[in-house]
Amino acid sequence: MSATLTLDALTKTFDGAAHPAVDAVSFTVAAGECLAILGPSGSGKSTVLRSIAGLDVPSSGRILVDGTEVAGLAPERRGMAMVFQRPLLFPHLSVLDNVAFAGTVAGQPRREARADAAQFLDLVQLGGFGSRAVTALSGGQEQRVALARALAARPRVLLLDEPFSALDPALRTDMHELLAQIRAQLNPTVVMVTHDRDEAAVVADTVALLTAGRLLQHDSVPRLYSRPASLAVSRLMGGRNEVEGTVSEGVHYSALGAIAAPEGEQWPDGVGVLVVRQEALRLGEPLPGEAGVRGVVAASALRGPRAHVVVDVNGAALECETAAISAPEVGTEVTVSIPLAGCAVLAA
Ligand SMILES: Nc1ncnc2c1ncn2[C@@H]1O[C@H](COP(=O)(O)OP(=O)(O)OP(=O)(O)O)[C@@H](O)[C@H]1O
C-alpha cells in the first residue's frame, strides 16, 4: 500500500505573484518512508503538498508516483489521501459513515464499506464510536476520524497538512504514537507538513527544509542537526553556536583553539564558521573524541528542567544546554567539552 514519490523541479508561481511560492523543489520519498516538509510560515510547504495532491496545478516540474507522472490526474485518481489541520468531517453523517464515505462514493456496497470503516475506526482507537454524531467528538477524536477516513481510501501516499497543530501538546504526542502504529501496520508513504522541528524529528525519517519556496536540505533528522548544509539550515534547526575562524589542512582555528574535522569530513581551507549544537556540548572534562576548552560562565537562563548556559571562551560565546540542577553560576570558570563528531564548518 505504498509508493515511491518523486518531485522533479516542482515550481509554482501564483497568478500575479512576483516570485514563485515553490521554486524548483526536487526530492524522493521512498515507499513506506515518512517525510516531513519543514519551514517557516509562507515558505511554500502547503503549496508543495497541495500540488502533490492535485489541489494546486504546478507551473512547471514533475510529480511521479512509482515513476509515473500524475500531471493531469484528478486528485481522487492519484492514490493519495489528505488530512488537513481542521478535520473537515461531514456534520450530517455519523462517525462510521464519515469513514465509509470514500468506499460508498467509489461504489462499494454500503454494508461492506461500513464493515471496512469499522476496522479503520478500530485502528485509530475509536472502535465503538461509529454511531456517534461527529459533533459529539473532542478535537483529538475528530482528527482520528479524519485519519481513519483518509486511510479507508487505502492511499499509497498519505498527505498530512499540519494535522496535529491545533491539538494540545499531550494529544499531539498521542497522535504521533498513533501515526507510528499506522505506519507499522499499513506502511503508507507519508508526507507531512509541519512548522515544528520537534514534531518533524519525532515523526519523520527524513526532513525537507524549505525557505522562501526553496529546498535548503533534504536529509535525515540527525544529519540536519549535526551536518547542516548552510548557516541558514543550522539557524532554522535552532542551532545557537557559530564560531568564526579559519580552516587549514582540515583543522579549524578560532577563539576555541584548534578543532580537527571529524573522520570522513572534508573542511575546505579558508574562512569558515564552526557550528556545534548546544545540546551536544557538555560542562566537564573532555572524554576521548572531545575537545576541552576553558571559559567563564557569562549568562545562565533556566528553561524548566533545563538551563541554557553561555560560556565566554576567549571572546567567543558558546551556548550549552544542561540540566538546570547542575547549571553553574555566572562568573564560574568551567571546561566545555566539544564532541568532534558534532562539529561542522560552514561558509560564512
Ligand atoms: N492561492 C494562492 N494565491 C496566491 N498566493 C498564494 C496562494 N496560496 C499560497 N500563496 C502564497 O504562496 C506562498 C507560500 O504559501 P504556503 O501556504 O504554501 O506556505 P506555508 O509554508 O504552507 O505557510 P504556513 O505555514 O503559514 O501555512 C505564500 O507567500 C502565500 O502567500
pLDDT at site 190: 98
Buried b (16+ CB within 10 A) or exposed e, 96-124: bbbbbbbbeeeebeeeebbebbbebbebb
Q: Is the pLDDT of residue 1 over 90?
A: no
Is the CB of 165 within 6 Å of ligand 1?
no
pLDDT category of residue 103 using cuts at 50, 70 and 90: confident
What are the residue ranges of CATH 3.40.50.300 in the chain? Answer: 5-226
Nearest ligand 1 atom, CA 195: 25
Nearest ligand 1 atom, CA 12: 12
Is the CB of 98 within 6 Å of ligand 1?
no
| Best CA proximity match to 3, nearest among 90, 85, 69 | 69
Is the CB of 54 within 6 Å of ligand 1?
no
Is the CB of 154 within 6 Å of ligand 1?
no
Whole-number Å distance between alpha carbons of 144 and 163: 10
Q: Is the pLDDT of residue 105 over 90?
A: no
Q: Say how many Å lie between the CA of residue 335 and the centre of ligand 1.
A: 46
Is the CB of 295 within 6 Å of ligand 1?
no
pLDDT at site 166: 87
For ligand 1, atom 28: residue with the closest CA = 42
- Which CATH fold topology does 240-346 show? OB fold (Dihydrolipoamide Acetyltransferase, E2P) (2.40.50)
User: In this prediction, what percent of the chain has a pLDDT beyond 70?
Assistant: 100
Is the CB of 130 within 6 Å of ligand 1?
no
- For 54, 117, 131, 190, 302, the CA distances from 153, given in Å and listed in that order, are 16, 10, 20, 14, 48
Q: What is the mean pLDDT of residues 284-288?
A: 96
pLDDT at site 290: 95
Is the CB of 226 within 6 Å of ligand 1?
no
Whole-number Å distance between alpha carbons of 78 and 56: 13
Q: Say how many Å lie between the CA of residue 48 and the centre of ligand 1.
A: 10
For ligand 1, atom 25: residue with the closest CA = 41
Whole-number Å distance between alpha carbons of 198 and 215: 19
What are the residue ranges of CATH 2.40.50.140 in the chain? Answer: 240-346
Is the CB of 39 within 6 Å of ligand 1?
yes
- Which CATH fold topology does 5-226 show? Rossmann fold (3.40.50)
Q: Residues with Cβ < 8 Å from 277, sequence gap 6 or more?
A: 225, 226, 239, 240, 241, 342
pLDDT at site 107: 86
Which ipTM did the prediction report?
0.98
- For 79, 143, 144, 233, the CA distances from 120, given in Å and listed in that order, are 17, 13, 10, 38
149-163 per-position pLDDT tens digit: 999 999 999 999 999
Burial of 59 (0-12, 13-18, 19+ CB in 10 A): middle
Which of 47, 50, 159 most suits a substitution to test ligand 1, by most atoms within 8 Å of the C-beta? 47
